[in-house]
């Protein structure tokens, strides 16, 4: 059923890790020397494939849907992968914040795209993790391509949103900026302008708020362009199909995860996950 078999996950993962490291070695010396983090995105794949990647030494995993994180981070999976670190990389609706923040080993929310969402995540984390002093890492998502089909803040709202998180959200730790960018950009035309826009936004944020450049991560780059993203400064890349194989969407058209109209509902996503597992 899957394009990458269980026995192939480890090989594919190691190949991507090697490519990440080589891309990092090609960075200009003027960029902060921050080792890039590889987030393995297992969307629509069974938890067994996550466990296989974990057994091969990987720890950072990302999901686009709250229902998927809840399904994959269940007690059995957590017992098998006690050191796993979950990144949420999809659009987060305020009504699902409490569900997401209750996930064991939630490491980072990369898609905070409004002050209101930041406030909701902050208050929920304070309430749900009252006994813990750990602040939740968050990134601010920027719509660098300006496409209406994509989520994220307009670049002009970046500084005020980051400032609000720093000053008003004591339970959150601002970690950096995230973008998806335009799908299918041809690098023959030069450096990806969406990545360049995120680099510029980091500089503006750091200059405006007196933050060291190396303290602000950049989450940009996916399977088709993660090497280029790292070369120009990404510190966090989100790679799925290159590790786990092409995604499977039973009885549904192939969706584009970057576009708003194609994002399935939480119920639909959960049904897809259940179908994927039962068909094993």
Q: Is residue 232 part of a domain?
A: yes
Rounded-to-10 torsion of CA 95, 102, 175, 147? -30
Task: Name the residue among 241, 244, 279, 243 with its Cα closest to residue 257.
Answer: 241
Q: Is residue 258 part of a domain?
A: no
Taking every pair of Cα atoms in the chain, the longest distance, rounded to a whole number of angstroms, is 52
Q: Is residue 107 part of a domain?
A: yes
Q: Is residue 17 part of a domain?
A: no
**HSE-up of 10 (CA within 13 Å, CB side)?**
8
Structural domain total, the chain: 1
Q: Is residue 151 part of a domain?
A: yes
Task: Name the residue among 188, 218, 175 with its Cα closest to residue 27.
Answer: 218
Q: Is residue 268 part of a domain?
A: no
CATH number at residue 45: 3.20.20.10
Question: Each residue's pLDDT tens digit in the chain (280 positions)?
Answer: 344 555 789 999 999 999 999 999 999 989 888 899 999 998 778 889 999 999 999 999 999 999 999 988 877 677 899 999 999 999 999 999 999 999 989 999 999 999 999 999 999 999 998 878 899 999 999 999 999 989 999 999 999 999 999 999 999 999 999 999 888 888 889 999 999 999 999 999 999 999 999 999 999 999 999 999 999 999 999 999 999 988 765 554 444 444 454 444 444 444 343 333 333 3
- Residues 86 and 106 sit within 8 Å (Cβ to Cβ): yes
What's the pLDDT score for residue 265? 43
Q: Is residue 157 part of a domain?
A: yes
The number of beta carbons lying within 10 Å of the beta carbon of residue 278 is 9
DSSP 216-237: SEEE---TTTHHHHHHHT-SEE
**Cβ within 8 Å of residue 132, ≥6 positions away:** none
Q: Is residue 7 part of a domain?
A: no
The whole-model pTM stands at: 0.86
Please, what is the end-to-end C-alpha distance for the chain in angstroms? 7
Range of the domain at 82: 28-239
């Amino acid at each position: 059923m899957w394009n990458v078999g269980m026995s192939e996950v480890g090989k594919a993962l190691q190949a991507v890790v090697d490519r990440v490291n080589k891309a990092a070695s090609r960075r200009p010396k003027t960029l902060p020397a921050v080792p890039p983090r590889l987030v393995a995105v297992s969307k629509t794949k069974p938890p067994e494939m996550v466990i296989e990647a974990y057994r091969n030494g990987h720890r950072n995993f990302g999901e686009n849907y709250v229902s998927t994180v809840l399904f994959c981070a269940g007690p059995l999976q957590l017992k098998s992968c006690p050191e796993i670190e979950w990144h949420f990389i999809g659009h987060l609706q305020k009504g699902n914040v409490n569900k997401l923040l209750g996930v064991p080993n939630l490491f980072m929310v990369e898609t905070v795209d409004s002050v209101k969402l930041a406030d909701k995540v902050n208050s929920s984390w304070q309430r749900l993790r009252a006994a813990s002093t750990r602040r939740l890492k968050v990134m601010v998502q920027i719509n660098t391509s300006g496409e209406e089909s994509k989520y994220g803040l307009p670049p002009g709202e970046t500084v005020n949103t980051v400032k609000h998180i720093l000053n008003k959200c004591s339970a959150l730790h601002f970690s950096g900026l995230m973008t998806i960018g335009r799908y299918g950009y041809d690098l023959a035309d030069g450096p990806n302008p969406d990545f360049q826009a995120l680099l510029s936004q980091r500089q503006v944020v750091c200059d405006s708020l007196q933050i060291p450049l190396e303290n602000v991560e950049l989450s940009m780059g996916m399977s088709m362009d993660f090497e280029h993203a790292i070369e120009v400064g990404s510190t966090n890349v989100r790679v799925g199909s290159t590790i786990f194989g092409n995604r499977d969407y039973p009885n549904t058209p192939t969706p584009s995860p970057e576009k708003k109209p194609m994002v399935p509902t939480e119920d639909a996503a959960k049904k897809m996950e259940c179908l994927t597992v039962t068909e094993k």
